[in-house]
A = this chain, B = another copy of it.
């Protein structure tokens, strides 16, 4: 599949399509037109057709989309059709909260280990996994062929940890530390930064603007 030039905007929307199609499956809907999907998702039908055409279409004139088929095709594009061994590095509140999200596992993100730097946490059990110390990371990553590391450590520790992770073969970092890690990883490692405080600031900006308008 030729998808090298798919824009970031389309990729940003794909998981949302996947979520809505999953809801349709739960509701027992077998097929849907781009117009109906458009009404549900509050994006234009032409946007939907255009987005899905990037991946070869999937729709049939006069029939619309087969919901299960489209859902499974988007799953393949997103890499959800196979299992990704994942670890969490940083077993504080946020790390433990993410460990307890069982939904990720249903999508193929299999949590195989939780790590921290704090000896007090050693051996504490989170969802059946005992928290391990970070000096066990190199061996563990190789043994379990860890692909994804979720980084829920303070910024000060994130950078050195990234080196340990990527040196030992981790290929993807889901970063919650308050810094842009994509500027400091090897070029073959992918990073997704989640900056929660920036999200809260955008909310505050919109609240502020709304109040000025009133």
B96-A172 in contact (CB<8A):
no
- Interface residues in A99-136 (C-beta closer than 8 Å to B): 100-101, 103-104, 107-109
User: Is A178 an interface residue, CB under 8 A from the partner?
Assistant: yes
B14-A205 in contact (CB<8A):
yes
Given contacts A97-B94, A205-B78, contact A198 B15 (CB under 8 A): yes
Q: Which of B97, B104, B107 contacts A96 (CB 8 A)?
A: B97
Chain B residues near A77 (CB-CB < 8 A) = 205, 208
- Interface residues in A43-101 (C-beta closer than 8 Å to B): 77-80, 84, 92-94, 96-98, 100-101
User: Is A12 an interface residue, CB under 8 A from the partner?
Assistant: yes
B174-A190 in contact (CB<8A):
no
User: Is A206 an interface residue, CB under 8 A from the partner?
Assistant: yes
Q: DSSP class of A's interface residues: helix, strand, loop or mixed?
A: helix
User: Is A25 an interface residue, CB under 8 A from the partner?
Assistant: no
Interface size for A (C-beta < 8 A) is 61
User: Is A194 an interface residue, CB under 8 A from the partner?
Assistant: yes
Question: Within the complex, what minimum Cβ distance (angstroms) separates A152 from chain B?
Answer: 9
Question: Within the complex, what minimum Cβ distance (angstroms) separates A208 from chain B?
Answer: 3
